[in-house]
Structure 1
């Protein structure tokens, strides 16, 4: 099977650099070198192993704190589709080649082998889930009767022209740009055709960078639906103490993802992710005026200087999914997890697992984790693999009651 991956959209023209010879559907050859494409075309490589194409200025991490532009290189076919907004650039690539790129882009190809195997299984399952199941969630918004509440979550909206996009909205896919390794290729070969299943059905295998010590349940981030294998678990071998969100987030309890092993982090995190080191516990501070400006620019609500913030509902990991923000002029209640992260940062907060305190003239947000926290914790899984756990043990830890099968 081939996977169609959207790389760029809305371009009036596309500059591409070819390595090797490509042929369009009319039999015209495109030799190695730079080409400017201005209309619909499909270019197929003459040799899938040696031919490649490169694109400049591909934006990665769109909207997040690591957003930047990169030159990226891809194997497989190059397809351009013309829409009213411009050209859409699509890469058609075999499924297992796609998975190899994802596990080398989401994390590093130098990860422990069992971590790469675990990620290959969940990336394949996440991709296949909507093909095996009717669409379950869509981008949704609801408001309370007094119109002061905004509740949004962002489901798996179907892309009209391709299966998945190449950025964090779906799964990171950066072609062959990132250094592949024998371990990454071996992980995909060893798990070829394997899927994560619950009661025989392929799982919607969600994952995030760092859960902060406790994973989150599905409904905190998306629609109010219980999914048995996406419930909250402690990210460690055993939890000996119970914590309130304030004491949990205010401390740094032991967990798989609570690691300061610089050698391991250098092995498992892509280069730009290594810039983020305060992923387990973090802190940001804003003045009341800075918060008011953020809320106005992100949500269009003019609350005046912020007086207070109150968590109205939290998930098991401490992630807030209903937050009341009170200003001098008005108030607003926002949710769910991602909407809160977007509203309280020029990009995104690391997570919505935070507690608020006031120090002098500032609101201090002390937080835990990086991402929505649902499903597999990538950093925790890497530590488990480094400690000798197998990929099936890792998957059974994060997705309770699941099995792995072809």
Structure 2
């Protein structure tokens, strides 16, 4: 197998401005797609969506493609790219990219797509997802999981090409609204450039020798389980216990994305013991869990979240955190355990604005179902006008925050309750940052500092998976 190329959706807007510092070869379909036009383009460029077409230099196209003459040296610049979409640190910046630029029309807007080789993409992802000062073993571990996740998603895209996606992402009734968000939300490209997929910012943030070394030393390596590339998810901080896939996305179980206590006694390279295996030598993911509480149970989840048990990701070491958190991520200081407080008016208004549903005054937030990390995947909102159970975890996080709650692993305290039973304030006490499935970036950073090899880090977070060479 040769190194693949992928298509990354970068930006969607009515108008897209970009610059070509060196001459690029432009290809475009116009006149109903009957004629192919190609020419050289250089300098500042402006494209506009007009009448469902890409308007460039006075001519309308179905799509445009700008290809570099020197793939390794040439780079184009996109203006006003949004990073941290819908997160508390959302902002715009100009970004530079290697590879080709494709412009298409989607939903009455232009979409800018970067066509780039996998290893170049990964060099950017590793530099974008975490600091380039991270340990080599952490960077190598992240290179393998980012490559694995990407290629697994590309296989899904290829399988879906030419046929509508039949996988439901929402179930709705009078009593429940259960919705999840995944890669299948995208059409027209393989992955997006923001946290919804993997944070990708081209060559905007310069990579270092150690990042390039991590990519080179793991080139073509992926995580495999039962003959398939692993859907290797990751998040910032699991909060002490990893979550299972099914509680965040569709109801599918992956043995390598199972409940795991984020501590030394849980690692397969120390005291942890596999209790069941499969005939091909891989684990089915059932591990001894003597140190892992049953956080699906409400009482256990309450106790766990309200305390701060030891874990790899339970750290305030600024040296370690700076390896994982870029400058805007470091605006978040409390993530292992955190608190959010709302008045009645604040919460009622927030839920109404975020969900589009008027619940009236909020009487209660009732935990209905939790996953293996204590993250809620069903939450009942009880109001004076309406009662509805919502899920899964990201829907809950989006509904209860102007951007996103750090996680859905939280407990609820009501204060200043009126004689009519209306709370004056709600206090949410939470654990972790992100969905908690797969690798915990902060925990993995601590493991790297403590001398674990990248293969050991991967064994810890992806139970029973193995590293294989997919291409040279």
Q: Return 5+ residue gaps in structure 2 as ranges.
A: 28-36, 48-54, 57-62, 267-290, 295-299, 417-423
377, 383, 387: which one aligns with 2:440:
377
Q: Does the 8 Å contact 2:154/2:190 carry over to 1?
A: no
Q: Show structure 1 runs of 4+ deviating over 6 A.
A: none
Q: How far did residue 403 of structure 1 move?
A: 0.2
Separation (CA, whole Å) in 2 of partners of 1:302 and 1:355? 23
- 1:251-330 correspondence runs (5 A): 251-330=307-386
- 1:149-160 correspondence runs (5 A): 149-157=176-184, 159-160=186-187
Q: Secondary structure at the match of 1:168?
A: coil
Q: Return 5+ residue gaps in structure 1 as ranges.
A: none
- CA offsets, 1:152-211, max 9 Å, x none? 112321633211111111111100011201111111111111110112211111111110
Does 2:172 align with 1:143?
A: yes
- CA offsets, 1:123-168, max 9 Å, x none? 1111111344556984522124xx0211111232163321111111
Residue-pair matches, total: 402
Tell which structure's C-alpha radius of gyration is larger.
Answer: 2
- 1:2-401 correspondence runs (5 A): 2-11=5-14, 13-25=15-27, 28-31=39-42, 33-37=43-47, 38-39=55-56, 40-83=63-106, 85-132=108-155, 134=159, 138=167, 140-144=169-173, 147-157=174-184, 159-238=186-265, 240=291, 242=293, 244-360=300-416, 361-401=424-464
- CA offsets, 1:49-102, max 9 Å, x none? 332111121111111112111111111111222446132211111110011111
Bigger mean CA deviation after superposition, 49-58 or 340-349:
49-58
Q: Secondary structure at the match of 2:374?
A: coil
Q: Provide the aligned C-alpha RMSD in A.
A: 1.9
> Taking structure 1 as reference, are residues 158 and 294 closer, same or farther at Cα in structure 2, changes over 3 Å only?
closer
> Taking structure 1 as reference, are residues 3 and 242 closer, same or farther at Cα in structure 2, changes over 3 Å only?
closer
Question: TM-score, structure 1 length as denominator?
Answer: 0.94
> Taking structure 1 as reference, are residues 188 and 85 closer, same or farther at Cα in structure 2, changes over 3 Å only?
same
- CA offsets, 1:234-293, max 9 Å, x none? 111127574711121111111111110112222331111111111111110112222211
Q: Does the 8 Å contact 2:362/2:384 carry over to 1?
A: yes
Q: Does the 8 Å contact 1:289/1:304 carry over to 2?
A: no
Q: Does the 8 Å contact 2:439/2:462 carry over to 1?
A: yes
> Taking structure 1 as reference, are residues 66 and 399 closer, same or farther at Cα in structure 2, changes over 3 Å only?
same
Q: Does the 8 Å contact 1:132/1:202 carry over to 2?
A: no
Q: Does the 8 Å contact 2:324/2:441 carry over to 1?
A: no
